[in-house]
Amino acid sequence: MIEVQALSKHFGPIVAVDRVSFAVGRGEVLGFLGPNGAGKSTTMKMIAGFLTPTSGTAKVCGFDVLEEPIAVKARIGYLPEGAPLYADMTPKSFLAFIAAARGFGREEAKRRIATAAAQTQIGTVFDRPIDTLSKGYKRRVGLAQALLHDPEVLILDEPTDGLDPNQKHEVRTLIRELASEKTIVISTHLLDEVSAVCSRAIVIAGGRLAVDTTPAALEARSRLHNAIRLRLAGLALEDARRDLAGVPGVAAIDTLEHEDAGIDLLLYAEGGQPIVTEVSRFVHARGWQVEEIRVERGELDEVFREITTGSA
């Protein structure tokens, strides 16, 4: 659905995007991760047909962005960063404009506007001027505009930025619902969003593509992947540490807390391999009093930092 080959964008001497290549298919939700200024938005603007690439190609549904821009734009629903909208219009008149610009006749426009409004739940503010709406509602109007023509491809630039947790949840739920039928690219620097919504993650840093993988694989890169958080009671710290160090697969042990009442340990897994079975068998065999045992999946923050500061 989207094919990007060696896409680059130079603003004078500044290289904003440096030979980025990737492909996204139907049913995939691609998360564009990266620090601010990494080139995520610039890449999306090129795919959406707003900016002209300095070199490289971008194809959407088989149409080249440079050769057939109108065909590309007709198939993309794009939500720019910050969700810019015409402040003087109401959501109703705004969506009517978008519908007209997308070539829908009056009857069909009405139908599609109603559908998009229902999907984004903006019915209650439909007739209020957009500049009187809250940030969350403005974002939803922007989403409605992107969904209006039921596009095959959705490109959303930081769709949940600035929303409260409830609103974030709603937007993410909506994206997940749409995912099966469409190709979706979202950009974010919220790592929990990637795990929540995306089937694939690309990390962009310094204009270059650093990593192209799945959220699960990203987590697996973390030192904390498959680590065990163990809370024990009624034991001496040094004894517990010495004994646990002997469990196969345990690479290192961190003491998080200890008081006379109990101890809190973090056992790192060697090579990120699962050790929970070994550890639980071990403590069970010893008859230790376990208050909590938890498998850590990995901290994306840490992985992200390593990838982006490494290559920046």
Partner 1 sequence: MRCARNVYAVFRREFAAYFVTPLAYVFLVVFLALAGALTFYIGNYFEREQADLEPFFTFHPWLYLFLIPAISMRLWAEERKTGTAELLLTLPLSITEAVLGKFLAAWAFTAVALALSFPLWISVNVLGHPDNGVILAGYIGSFVMAGAFLAVSSCMSALTKNQVIAFVLACAASFLFILSGTPMVLGFAQSWLPQVLIDAIASFSFLTHFNAIKKGVIDLRDVIFLASLIALFLYANVVAVELKKSA
Tokens for 231?
Answer: 């809370």
Tokens for 260?
Answer: 């006379």
We find the least distance from the C-beta atom of residue 252 to partner 1, in angstroms, to be: 49
**Would you count residue 76 as binding partner 1 (CB under 8 A)?**
yes
Query: Toward partner 1, which CB reaches closer, 52 or 255?
Result: 52
Amino acid at 159: P
* Per rule CB under 8 A, count of chain residues that contact partner 1: 30
The residues pairing with 188 across neighbouring beta strands, listed in sequence order, are 33
Rounded Cα distance, 68 and 58, in Å:
11
Pick out residues in 98-137 that bind partner 1 (CB under 8 A): 98, 100-103
**Would you count residue 206 as binding partner 1 (CB under 8 A)?**
no
CB 188 within 8 Å of CB 38: no
Which of the ranges 90-98, 168-176, 191-199, 206-214 carries the binding residues for partner 1, by CB under 8 A? 90-98
Residue 41: which of 210, 198, 188, 200 has the closest Cα?
188
**Would you count residue 176 as binding partner 1 (CB under 8 A)?**
no
Which of the ranges 97-105, 182-190, 265-273, 299-307 carries the binding residues for partner 1, by CB under 8 A? 97-105
CB 9 within 8 Å of CB 46: yes
**Would you count residue 87 as binding partner 1 (CB under 8 A)?**
yes
**Would you count residue 11 as binding partner 1 (CB under 8 A)?**
yes
Choosing from 2, 24, 39, 45, the residue that interacts with partner 1 (CB under 8 A) is: 45
We find the least distance from the C-beta atom of residue 99 to partner 1, in angstroms, to be: 9
We find the least distance from the C-beta atom of residue 80 to partner 1, in angstroms, to be: 4
Give alpha helix (H) positions in 121-253: 135-147, 165-179, 191-197, 215-220, 237-245
89, 128, 165, 214, 256 from 137: Cα distances, Å: 14, 11, 14, 31, 43
Interacting residue ranges for partner 1, rule: CB under 8 A:
11, 45, 48-52, 70-71, 73-74, 76, 78, 80-82, 84-89, 93, 97-98, 100-103, 145
